Amino acid sequence: MVSKINDSQLVQLLEATLFASERPLTTDDLTATVLADFQLSKKRLSQALKQLQQDYQGRGIELVETATGYRFQTKSEWSDYLARLWPERSPRYSRAVLETLALIAYRQPITRGEIEAVRGVTVSSQIIRTLLDRGWVKVVGHKDVPGRPGLYATTAEFLNYFGLKSLSALPALTEFSAQAAMTLDSAALLNTVAMTEETS
């Protein structure tokens, strides 16, 4: 083990750590674990992460910062090819589920009744249960109206799954037509939001 670490070694250690980790890691996670033996400034750590991101430009994988930390992931343009490695398809979500998720993402916090008002149809308990079980939404409070309905909002897991650092990274509603290159689930979600907004 080394007592000091130069910039090149730091980038290599970060690369190895993020490659080996099963979950995204924040700068605090990194500082408390693999970098605990070194006194690094936040600026130096940030610069090393940016360098690592630059090193992977033009490659098949990329280093991204999500809501729950940094992680390596494959680039979305190769997802159709990579899917052939796993014959079992990932779960397909119905249009109703994706519309509901999209409305929660863009209009949170929002009640079930407000979702129904926009969609023009009843939102079944199963749809809400699917989103809750997936960890993409949660109840964040109750609206101060008769019956005190639950207010739904997205979670850090939602941001993490869709590769977003924050809700501000969601595409503007005018940008949906440019989302064709996104992964299957993301494209379905965003295209559904576009159609929902146009008819609301």
**Residue bearing tokens 């639950």:** 150
Domains held by the chain: number: 2
Residue 83 belongs to a domain: no
pLDDT at 175 over 70: no
- Residues 53 and 127 both lie in one domain: no
CATH number at residue 165: 1.10.10.10
Q: What is the pLDDT of residue 83?
A: 79
Q: Give the pTM.
A: 0.60
- Residues 61 and 156 both lie in one domain: no
- Residues 52 and 16 both lie in one domain: yes
Residue 161 belongs to a domain: yes
Give the number of C-alpha atoms closer than 13 A to the C-alpha of residue 103, restricted to the C-beta side.
Answer: 28
Q: What is the pLDDT of residue 173?
A: 63
Residue 40 belongs to a domain: yes
Rounded Cα distance, 120 and 117, in Å: 5
φ, ψ of residue 34 to 5 degrees: the values are -70, -20
Model confidence over 108-159: pLDDT tens digits? Answer: 999 999 998 888 888 889 999 999 999 999 999 999 888 899 999 999 999 8
- Residues 109 and 158 both lie in one domain: yes
DSSP code string of 144-174 = SSTT-PEEEEE-HHHHHHTT-SSGGGSPPGG
Domain end position, chosen among 41, 74, 107: 74
Confidence band for 92, pLDDT divided at 50, 70 and 90 = confident
Confidence band for 166, pLDDT divided at 50, 70 and 90 = confident
Residue 31 belongs to a domain: yes
Residue 20 belongs to a domain: yes
What is the extent of the structural domain holding 11? Answer: 7-74
Residue 167 belongs to a domain: yes
- Residues 185 and 101 both lie in one domain: yes
- Residues 188 and 99 both lie in one domain: yes
